[in-house]
């Protein structure tokens, strides 16, 4: 009996459950692929969370956003990141994590344009030429109405880098986009090749959204609720100890 008691008291460690999280492959700097490598703010946060999780190993795979949502709708993905909270538009996402990041859309302008404060969007920007990314609905309903009425001029450009160059060269007065994307691109492209030697400043905030990990309804697994609880707790601890803030700041400072 003594031998049996000693033998049975030895702890048995089960292998970690492997969980795959699917993310957007073209959403820099938040989530993107570069030379076959998974990069971005969300993957960094998820990797740090994985190091703190007990009982789970995380894999990150990136896909085009539209295909990723189709996978979620068909129940082919356990979890996807980083959708905004859209419970009516995306009924197939039945559960969301705690918010991971606040994503702020802002307007950036040449420093001459912001010589006086312009805090009210879009009214304080009437009469200006505003750049935006091609096919993006960035400015909100009031801005779109103002553009239709000719109160602002809108010029589209193919991507953040091109629009920032136009802004720095004075070809547009302001540019609206995700603020981290703008600051990150400025940091990466500050190579001294811009013809316009002035600086730009951040103006009004247009809106704020939050990014999540979301869990499709149709994908069921025995470990689903256990993982959701554990992941939320880890993200909470990373917010509390400043880890997420440090990761975010490393992309813009």
Banded model confidence at residue 191, pLDDT cuts 50, 70, 90? low
Take residue 95 and report the two structure tokens written for it: 């559960």
| Structural domains of the chain ordered from first start | 17-100+212-250 (3.40.190.10), 102-209 (3.40.190.10)
Gap between the Cα atoms of 135 and 232, Å rounded: 34
**pTM score above 0.95:** no
Q: Is the pLDDT of residue 144 over 90?
A: yes
Per-residue pLDDT reduced to its tens digit, 16-50: 899 999 999 989 999 999 999 999 999 999 999 99
- The pLDDT, as a whole number, for residue 12 is 40
- The pLDDT, as a whole number, for residue 229 is 97
Per-residue pLDDT reduced to its tens digit, 66-123: 999 999 999 999 999 999 999 999 999 999 999 999 999 999 999 999 999 999 999 9
- The pLDDT, as a whole number, for residue 10 is 39
Per-residue pLDDT reduced to its tens digit, 163-188: 988 998 889 999 999 999 998 988 87
Q: Is the pLDDT of residue 240 over 60?
A: yes
């Amino acid at each position: 009996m003594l031998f049996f008691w000693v033998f049975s008291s030895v702890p048995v460690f089960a292998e970690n459950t492997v969980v795959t999280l699917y993310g957007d492959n073209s959403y820099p700097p938040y989530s993107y692929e570069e030379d076959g490598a998974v990069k971005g703010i969300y993957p960094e946060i998820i990797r740090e969370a994985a190091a703190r999780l007990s009982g789970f190993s995380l894999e990150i795979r990136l896909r085009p956003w539209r295909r990723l949502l189709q996978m979620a709708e068909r129940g082919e993905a356990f979890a996807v990141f980083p959708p905004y909270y859209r419970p009516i538009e995306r009924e197939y996402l039945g559960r969301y994590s705690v918010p991971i990041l606040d994503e702020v859309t802002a307007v950036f302008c040449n420093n001459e344009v912001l010589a006086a404060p312009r805090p009210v969007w879009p009214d304080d920007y009437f009469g200006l030429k505003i750049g935006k990314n091609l096919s993006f609905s960035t400015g909100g309903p009031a801005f779109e109405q103002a553009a239709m009425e000719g109160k602002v001029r809108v010029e589209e450009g193919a991507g953040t880098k091109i629009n920032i160059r136009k802004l720095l060269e004075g070809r547009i007065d302001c540019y609206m986009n995700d603020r981290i994307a703008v600051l990150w691109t400025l940091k990466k492209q500050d190579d001294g090749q811009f013809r316009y030697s002035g600086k730009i400043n951040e103006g009004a905030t247009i809106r704020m959204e939050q990014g999540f990990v979301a869990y499709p309804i149709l994908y069921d697994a025995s470990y689903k609720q256990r993982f959701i609880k554990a992941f939320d707790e880890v993200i909470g601890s990373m917010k509390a100890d400043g880890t997420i803030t440090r990761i975010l700041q490393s992309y813009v400072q």
